[in-house]
């Protein structure tokens, strides 16, 4: 038996954002329906970064595997990605390692897709203006996902460096978007009239103020991924409808970790997005409510998204195969 | 940057039992010295088996990685190994996945090596007779390890099936051993005068009785690897000097898990073998004590053993390389 190797370009070639959105939606839904296994993410710490081990299983779909992913912020200086991941998929029937997959590209896609899923289920149907706070790769992928689930008329971009914002604007236009795209140097101005806001900064002090966000907006809070990180003012989070992917991760490292630790926001006030998808809990009820999705990233998203690629390429002739047991 | 792939035959070609013993001894020692990280093993459960995720790091040596390993008892019927593992080694400086290694062969070697390390540190120096209870692959690998650390004069073999015992006898002789090898159909008889006993059965009821074990014997208890498994009578364990690799695993799934749950044996009565190696705790004190090593298998053993192979083959021309990030 051979193990299939799927590298970055294979993932990019065969995984569409539409696929990834479908995969992530399924992951959230099955998680909330209790049809999955996902032991807590485990961390190992190094001088310059860390390594996270994320096992996940879809019991009924027969999909199982483990993602191993690092975060090394200084990698940029030497031209390596900050985050590099490997996903191993395992045959549930025998335990055989059926595939080794570049997890970097899968992680990017499933993280972008999360914004698409949340926007689809939580944003107002008449949303027109899409704002990005932070304009790096995550903003780009969120854009690809959001435009799959609605039709934006205006795009607002703000980030700390103008070049980054301009590059995102160029990418959006080059890819064929024909609506208006504006780059802002003032964050408050960029949020004016924004219906959908996606924040992807590594901020440790809240940068989005409650008074800047219009009634009825939906916010995808993507940036916070560690203790102490927070992009939205606590007043904003505490007065909005908050949706999470998973409580343990959200309370430890998600957007809500700081207000939760301060005792200002409790689990009972937050709804797992999977319950909205499964129709076992309400999503947005009123048009003038603000909804926030706190995305922390689940191993389940990685495994199902990787499996989708695996299913597409497994019979292809030009897929690389290795023989670990030989 | 490329990821090296090391398959089973490469591991077997380049990893000697001597290497593995050195690696495992270092793993135990550094673990007890607090120089390692080893988040708890995480399990996912399937209808026909399970999958374990085992991350481990040697902080000062710069070695880190994750083993993913299954146990599927029914695999034998379809000609697949019961246990198949993949080890990913990671560059601590950047988080890059530097190697994907067949973990099946590494697991076998490091598990065998554990018996060598324990025998070296705990058995009487004048030991002559080596007994095996259970005669499968694990017994064979324990044999290879034990003969690295002492000179056996007599080998006794017992297992539930005569064919298995006879095959182990043949393998031992074929490999060049010139002492006496005897196969027994009676377990008690096989233990007569045994100085070193290695048990590798999956028994759930104790099969080795206290009265059958001679004073001064050393026992490597390898078989128990899950809740409810036990090879040695509780009376034997409770009256012997017990050494463990790691307390959490031992108390949950090692040889001592049943007597511990019954409240018959406590952590304070057990010594981590790493402390004996580091000379911070006593090993055997008297010649007529019985010593027992409860081996559960640490992720640290896997990572350091795999790294040893990686270091040997990394510059070789004929090593397979894959380009995950391409």
CATH number for the domain spanning A18: value is: 3.30.1780.10
CA distance A135 to A164: 6
Q: CA Rg, chain A, in Å? A: 19
Interchain contact A137–B (C-beta under 8 A): no
Interchain proximity B44–A53, CB inside 8 Å: no
Reported ipTM: the value is: 0.93
From A13, A42, A67, A215, active-site residue: A67
- Whether residue A52 lies inside any domain: the answer is yes
Are A145 and A261 members of one domain? Answer: yes
pLDDT the model gives residue A204:
92
Is the CB of B95 less than 8 angstroms away from the CB of A75?
yes
Cβ contacts of A40 on chain B, cutoff 8 Å: 42
One domain for residues A144 and A77: no
Whether the CB-CB separation of A256 and A270 falls below 8 Å is answered with yes
Task: Kindly state whether A43 is in contact with chain B, defined as any CB-CB distance less than 8 angstroms.
Answer: yes
Low-confidence ranges of chain B (pLDDT < 50): none
Given a contact cutoff of 8 angstroms between Cβ atoms, the answer to whether A206 and A226 are in contact is no
Q: Does the beta-carbon distance from A320 to B320 stay under 8 Å? A: no
DSSP B278-291: TTSS----STT--E
Number of domains making up chain A: 2
CB-CB under 8 Å, A37 with B8: no
Asked whether residue A278 falls in the same domain as residue A312, the answer is: no
Please list every residue in chain B whose beta carbon sits closer than 8 Å to the beta carbon of residue A81.
325
Q: A76 to chain B: nearest residue by CA? A: B94
Domain assignment present for residue B257? The answer is yes
- On whether residue B116 sits in a domain, the answer given is no
Nearest CB partner across the interface for A7, out of B57, B94, B324: B324
- B10 lies in which domain range? 3-107+300-322
Transcribe A94-142 into DSSP letters. T--EEEEEEHHHHHHHHHHHHHHHHHHHHS-TT--EEEEES-SHHHHHH
Look at residue B127 and tell me if it is in a domain: yes
Q: How open is the CA angle A233-A238-A242, to the nearest 5 degrees?
A: 105
Instruction: Nearest by CB to B88, from A56, A68, A102: name it.
Output: A68
Q: Do B264 and B181 lie in a common domain? A: yes
Is the CB of A107 inside 8 Å of chain B's CB atoms? no
* A299-313 helix and A17-32 helix, angle to the nearest 10 degrees: 130
Note if A67 is an active site residue. yes
Residue A325 has its nearest CB partner, among B8, B323, B326, at B8
The upper half-sphere exposure of residue A263, i.e. CA atoms within 13 Å in the direction of its Cβ, equals 0
Residues of B in contact with A66 (CB under 8 A): 51, 53, 66, 68
What is the C-alpha to C-alpha distance for residues A192 and A205, in angstroms, rounded to an integer? 21
Q: Look at residue A177 and give its three-state secondary structure.
A: coil
DSSP B228-266: T---B-HHHHHTSEEEES-HHHHHHHSTTHHHHHTTSS-
Q: Using a CB-CB distance cutoff of 8 angstroms, which residues of chain A are in contact with residue B79?
A: none
Q: How many helices (H) and strands (E) does chain B have?
A: 11, 16
CA angle A197, A278, A26 (to 5 degrees): 75
Chain A residues in contact with B67 by the CB 8 A cut-off are: none
Nearest by CB: A51 against B64, B86, B102: B64
- In a domain, residue B78? The reply is yes
Residues 6 or more apart in contact with residue B101 via CB below 8 angstroms: B5, B6, B11, B86, B87, B88, B89, B306, B309, B310
Cβ distance B72 to A49 less than 8 Å, yes or no, reads no
For position A142, what pLDDT does the model report?
98
> Are B45 and A68 inside 8 Å of each other by CB?
no
Q: Within this chain, do residues A63 and A88 fall inside the same structural domain, yes or no?
A: yes
Instruction: Kindly state whether residue B12 falls inside one of the protein's structural domains.
Output: yes
Chain centroid offset of residue A248 CA: 16
Q: What is the pLDDT of residue A226?
A: 83
Report if residue B194 sits inside a domain.
yes
Closest-CA residue to A60 (of A33, A39, A40): A33
pLDDT at B318 (0 to 100): 86
What's B245's domain CATH number?
3.40.50.720
Asked if residue A289 and residue A220 are part of one domain, the reply reads yes
Q: In what order do the strands lie in the sheet with A291-294?
A: A180-184, A154-158, A129-133, A196-199, A218-221, A291-294, A241-244, A270-272
Strands B129-133 and B154-158: parallel
Instruction: Supply φ then ψ for residue A240, to 5 degrees.
Output: -110, 170
DSSP H helical ranges for chain A = 8-14, 17-32, 103-122, 137-149, 162-174, 187-190, 234-238, 247-253, 257-261, 273-277, 299-313
- Are residues A156 and A284 located together in one domain of the fold? yes
Between positions 61 and 100 of A, the ones with CB within 8 A of B are 64, 66, 68, 70-72, 75, 78, 80-81, 83-84, 86, 88, 90, 92-97, 100
Q: Which of residues 177-206 of B touch A (CB under 8 A)?
A: none
Residue B176 — φ and ψ, nearest 5°? 115, 5
pTM: 0.94
A289 shares its domain with A163:
yes
| Catalytic residue numbers of B, as ranges | 67
Q: Which of A94, A99, A103, A106 to mutate to test the interface with B (most CBs of B within 10 A)?
A: A94
Q: Based on the fold, state whether residues B95 and B46 are members of the same structural domain.
A: yes
pLDDT of chain A along its 326 residues, tens only?
Answer: 899 999 999 999 999 999 999 999 999 999 999 999 999 999 999 999 999 999 999 999 999 999 999 999 999 899 999 999 999 999 999 999 999 999 999 999 999 999 999 999 999 999 999 999 999 999 999 999 999 999 999 999 999 999 999 999 999 999 999 999 999 999 999 999 999 999 999 899 999 999 999 999 999 999 988 889 999 999 999 999 999 999 999 999 899 999 999 898 888 889 999 999 999 999 999 999 999 999 999 999 999 999 999 999 999 998 999 999 99
- B174–chain A Cβ distance below 8 A for any pair: no
Q: What is the H or E stretch that residue B117 is in?
A: helix B103-122
The token pair that represents A246 in the structure block: 């998973």
Check residue B325 and report its DSSP letter: T
CB nearest A64 (choices: B37, B44, B57): B44
In a shared domain, residues A16 and A138: no
Nearest chain B CA: its distance from A29 CA (Å)? 19
d(Cα A201, Cα A207) in Å, to the nearest integer? 9
Interface membership of B162 toward A (CB under 8 Å): no
User: B35 with A43: CB under 8 angstroms?
Assistant: no
Q: Greatest CA span in chain B, whole angstroms?
A: 63
Q: Which of A32, A92, A29 is nearest to A59 (CA)?
A: A92
Q: Are residues B129 and B208 in the same domain?
A: yes
d(CA B272, CA B281): 8
Is the Cβ–Cβ distance between A42 and A136 less than 8 Å? no
pLDDT for position A224? 86
Looking at the structure, do residues A135 and A253 belong to the same domain, yes or no? yes
SS3 label, residue A150: coil
Residue A265: inside a domain: yes
Cα A165 to Cα A132, A145, A183, A220, distances in angstroms: 9, 18, 6, 18
Is there a contact between B300 and B106 (Cβ–Cβ < 8 Å)? no
Return the closest-CA partner of residue A122 out of A325, A310, A281: A281
Smallest Cβ–Cβ distance between A326 and the set B9, B46, B68 belongs to B9
Q: Are B135 and B168 in contact (CB under 8 A)?
A: yes
Amino acid A151: pLDDT = 96
CA distance B31 to chain A (A): 15
Tell me the sheet residues that pair with A160: none
Query: Do residues A121 and A276 make contact, with C-beta atoms less than 8 angstroms apart?
Result: yes
- Tell me how many residue pairs between chain A and chain B have CB atoms under 8 A apart: 164
């Amino acid at each position: 038996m051979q193990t299939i190797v799927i590298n970055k370009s294979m993932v990019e070639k065969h995984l569409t954002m539409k696929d990834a959105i479908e995969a992530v939606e399924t992951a959230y839904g099955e998680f909330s329906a209790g049809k999955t296994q996902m032991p807590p993410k485990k961390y190992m710490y190094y001088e310059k970064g860390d390594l996270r081990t994320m096992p996940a299983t879809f019991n009924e779909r027969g999909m199982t595997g483990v993602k191993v992913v690092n975060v090394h912020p200084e990698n940029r200086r030497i031209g390596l990605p900050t985050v590099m991941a490997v996903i191993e998929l395992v045959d549930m029937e025998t335990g055989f390692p059926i595939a080794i997959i570049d997890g970097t590209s899968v992680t990017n896609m499933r993280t972008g897709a999360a914004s698409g899923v949340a926007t689809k289920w939580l944003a107002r149907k008449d949303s027109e203006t899409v704002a990005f706070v932070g304009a790096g790769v995550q903003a780009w992928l969120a854009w690809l996902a959001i435009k799959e689930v609605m039709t934006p008329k205006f795009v607002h971009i703000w980030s700390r460096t103008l070049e980054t914002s301009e590059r995102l604007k160029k990418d959006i236009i080059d890819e064929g978007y024909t609506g208006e795209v504006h780059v802002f140097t003032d964050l408050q101005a960029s949020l004016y009239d924004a219906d959908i806001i996606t924040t992807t900064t590594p901020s440790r002090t809240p940068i989005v103020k409650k008074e800047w966000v219009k009634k009825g907006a939906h916010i995808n809070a993507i940036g916070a991924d560690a203790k102490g990180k927070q992009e939205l003012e606590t007043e904003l989070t505490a007065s909005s409808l908050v949706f999470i992917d998973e409580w343990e991760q959200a309370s430890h490292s998600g957007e809500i970790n700081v207000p939760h630790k301060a005792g200002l926001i409790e689990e009972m006030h937050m709804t797992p997005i999977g319950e909205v998808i499964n129709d076992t809990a309400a999503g947005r009820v009123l048009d003038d409510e603000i909804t926030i999705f706190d995305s922390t990233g689940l191993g389940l998203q990685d495994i199902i998204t990787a499996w989708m690629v695996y299913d597409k390429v497994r019979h292809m002739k030009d897929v690389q195969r290795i023989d670990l047991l030989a």
